[in-house]
Amino acid sequence: MLRMALLFLCVAALSLFLGRYPTTGFLSPAMLARDELARTLLLNLRLPRVLTAILLGTCLGSSGMVFQMIFANPLVEPGFLGVSQGAAFGAGLGIIFLGNNSWLVQACAALFAFAGLLLSYLLAHRIRFGGWILRLVLAGISISALFSAGVGILKYIADPLGQLPEITFWLLGGLWSVNWSRVLAILPVVLAGLGVIFGRRWRLNLLALSDETVHSLGAKPGRERILLLAAAVASTAAVISVCGVVGWIGLIVPHVSRRLFGVDTRFSLPGSMLIGALFTLLCDDCVRVAMAAEIPLGILTSLIGAAFFLVLMTSKGMKVQR
């Protein structure tokens, strides 16, 4: 864990000096001392961007772990309860009807991310069969499908020259639009959510067990699950509202963490946060350094994530009970 943390710190520090100014590659400290523009660039563009990449990875990694534990299923991720699709729909609405004001788009995305969760939750209450988890999963899938149909309609009616590319870019996710004011706007929610999850990291273990066992262990299964889900969704919605939909991190990272640090969430949750942050940072470094026309972050995380996932699932040591 300590080695992972050190590696993460090194990568985070190096990321600040990586980029395409003045030339592609590394910005030397000597250059930084001389060049006023380089300093401004580092403090006002790269620093918030690196910080957001860290927050994004930490949120998605920890939320993924929370979702997988609470649903006792290693194949779920934060976008599970209509959150991602809700956010996408909200952003689409903002882009088309609210004049593409970046603050409004963000607010709209966060609002609909929560609406997705709320609708899934209410629908789960009204489904008349199955246990709580099955109902929540079914509700989440249907609400996601509804929102994704909505996104389809929005794309169909969007202006193909101005709005459609905007929506598409947002759906692919990326960190190019990050600045200090945006980071500071989401920081309180993200830190609060992460704080709740991190504080309860050992108790998260309990929530993967059956309801009556959790109850017999002196916990309230419903209430504790809702608290952690709300923390995970709030922080995820906040980062999604800035970064767009960045896929696969929430699904893959918890698996890697369990491989490295064991199943006990006391260790695998901080592990998941670290690995998430590290993976996102590295992917973001790649997308902004590799090509002059930046490719969206979501594409790279999905590409690497999916490839990695396939290897992980087919490798011998992988055991999924169910």
Partner 1 sequence: MKDPLLAFNEVTFGYHQSGNRKEESWREGIIEIDPEQGRSEPAVVRSKGSRAVVPKTGFTVSKSPGPGALEQTVAGQKRSGPVVTSVQCVHSRESDVLRGLSFSIFSGSATAVLGPNGVGKTTLLFLALGWLKAQGGEVVLAGRPVHTYGQSERGRLMSLVPQREHIPFEYSLLEYVLLGRAPHLRPLEMPGEEDRRIALDSLKRVGLGEKPTRSINRLSSGERQLLLLARSLVQRPRLLLLDEPTSHLDVGNKKRIVDLLKGMQSEGITLLFTTHDPQVAASLADQLLLMRRGVVAKAGAPEEVLTTDLLTETYGVEVRVVKVDGEIVILWT
258 near partner 1, rule: CB under 8 A: yes
Q: Provide the minimum distance between the beta carbon of 290 and partner 1 in the complex, in angstroms, as a whole number.
A: 36
Q: Provide the minimum distance between the beta carbon of 249 and partner 1 in the complex, in angstroms, as a whole number.
A: 20
User: According to CB under 8 A, which one of 24, 180, 222, 264 is a site residue for partner 1?
Assistant: 264
Q: Provide the minimum distance between the beta carbon of 211 and partner 1 in the complex, in angstroms, as a whole number.
A: 8
User: According to CB under 8 A, which one of 24, 44, 101, 213 is a site residue for partner 1?
Assistant: 213
Binding track, positions 66-85, relative to partner 1; x by CB under 8 A: ---x--xxx-----------
Q: Provide the minimum distance between the beta carbon of 165 and partner 1 in the complex, in angstroms, as a whole number.
A: 42
218 near partner 1, rule: CB under 8 A: yes
Q: Provide the minimum distance between the beta carbon of 235 and partner 1 in the complex, in angstroms, as a whole number.
A: 18
Size of the site for partner 1 (CB under 8 A): 31
Q: Secondary structure of the chain in the HEC alphabet?
A: CHHHHHHHHHHHHHHHHEECCCCCEECCHHHHHHCHHHHHHHHHHHHHHHHHHHHHHHHHHHHHHHHHHHCCCCCCCHHHHCHHHHHHHHHHHHHHHCCCCHHHHHHHHHHHHHHHHHHHHHHHHHCCCCCHHHHHHHHHHHHHHHHHHHHHHHHHHCCCCCHHHHHHHHHHCCCCCCCHHHHHHHHHHHHHHHHHHHHCCCHHHHHHCCHHHHHHCCCCHHHHHHHHHHHHHHHHHHHHHHHCCCCCHHHHHHHHHHHHHCCCHHHHHHHHHHHHHHHHHHHHHHHHHHCCCCCCHHHHHHHHHHHHHHHHHHCCCCCCCC
220 near partner 1, rule: CB under 8 A: yes
Q: Provide the minimum distance between the beta carbon of 184 and partner 1 in the complex, in angstroms, as a whole number.
A: 27
215 near partner 1, rule: CB under 8 A: yes
In the complex, the residues that contact partner 1 under the rule CB under 8 A are 69, 72-74, 128, 199-200, 202-203, 205-206, 208-213, 215-220, 258, 262-264, 266, 319, 321-322
